[in-house]
Amino acid sequence: MRLFIVEDDSDLGDALCRRLKQDGYAVDWEQDGEAANDILQFQKYDAIILDIELPSMDGITLLRALRRRGDATPVMMLTARSRMDDRVDALDIGADDYLSKPFDVREFDARCRALLRRSTGSVSSSFEVGKVHFDGAAMLVRIDDVQITLPNREFRLLEILLGSVGRVVSKEQIAEQLFDFDDEAGPNAIEVYVGRLRRKLGDALTIQTVRGMGYLTEVPKHQ
């Protein structure tokens, strides 16, 4: 999953980036409203964290431009303002959620997970595919009743593949969600992560390489 943070406060923006990257998300961060608007015209995200008070272009104007282009990416607004009118305006324009500063990082985490579920059409962060039980909130993976340990990036790769069971997902699609602008990911990085994931999943899932197309994840027929 790839998120875009638009926040001009350096300390807060850096803290949110580090928090989300620790959870294995790919995260890009921009401090200027106009620059963020330019990026959003060519780069797609699974969710956007958008401050209202920004230089060059405020968050409300940016959100309005986003929705006018037909971009339905889930957006959570951040602001130090507490007036009800500001919240109503943001929601009416097309914001999906609203969080007032200061906030507890645990609430921020939970709201981000809810935003990403909306992006994928999921109603819960916990689900099962064959023998694999996946819990995005707790960052737990079990095969039958045995918990397996996955580093954050492998965990997010599994999340991407489980969201596309029965469909081929390309390397480009995976890279878009797994890596951010600052990542120096070589051309074979995804193959390495997929190989590690295959070994840990054993026969619980099959991840087939479809030459020239990407990867196909399926539940083995014997299950």
Q: What is the CATH number of domain 2-120?
A: 3.40.50.2300
* Alpha-carbon gap, residue 188 to 185, rounded angstroms: 8
Rounded to 10 deg, the angle between the 10-22 and 105-120 helix axes is 60
- The domain locations on the chain are 2-120, 150-218
In 3D space, the residue among 66, 47, 52, 44 whose CA is nearest the CA of residue 9 turns out to be 52
pLDDT in tens, 200-211: 999 999 999 998
**Where is pLDDT greater, at 14 or 85?**
14
* Alpha-carbon gap, residue 78 to 100, rounded angstroms: 6
Q: Which two tokens stand for residue 35?
A: 């620059």
pLDDT in tens, 132-181: 999 887 888 999 989 999 998 899 899 989 988 889 999 888 888 888 87
**Where is pLDDT greater, at 146 or 126?**
146
pLDDT in tens, 12-42: 999 999 999 988 889 999 999 999 999 999 9
121 confidence band (pLDDT: 50, 70, 90): low
CA-to-CA separations, 193 to 28, 118, 161, in angstroms, rounded: 21, 26, 12
Q: Candidates 3.20.20.70, 1.10.10.10, 1.10.3720.10, 2.30.30.180; correct CATH number of 150-218? A: 1.10.10.10
What's 189's DSSP letter?
A: H
Strand stretches in the chain, DSSP E: 2-6, 26-30, 47-51, 75-79, 97-100, 126-129, 132-135, 140-143, 146-148, 168-169, 206-210, 214-218
The answer, yes or no, to whether residue 124 has pLDDT greater than 80, is: no
3-state secondary structure 83-130: CHHHHHHHHHHCCCEEEECCCCHHHHHHHHHHHHHHHHCCCCCEEEEC
Q: Which two tokens stand for residue 195?
A: 């190989």
Q: pTM for the full model? A: 0.72
- Given the DSSP bridges, would you call strands 26-30 and 47-51 parallel, antiparallel or unpaired? unpaired
Phi and psi dihedrals of 211, rounded to 5?
-55, 130
CA-to-CA separations, 5 to 32, 107, 145, 213, in angstroms, rounded: 11, 16, 37, 31
Residue 83 pLDDT: 66
Q: Which two tokens stand for residue 215?
A: 């990867």
Percent of the chain with pLDDT over 70: 93
Average pLDDT, the chain: 88
Residue 120 pLDDT: 66
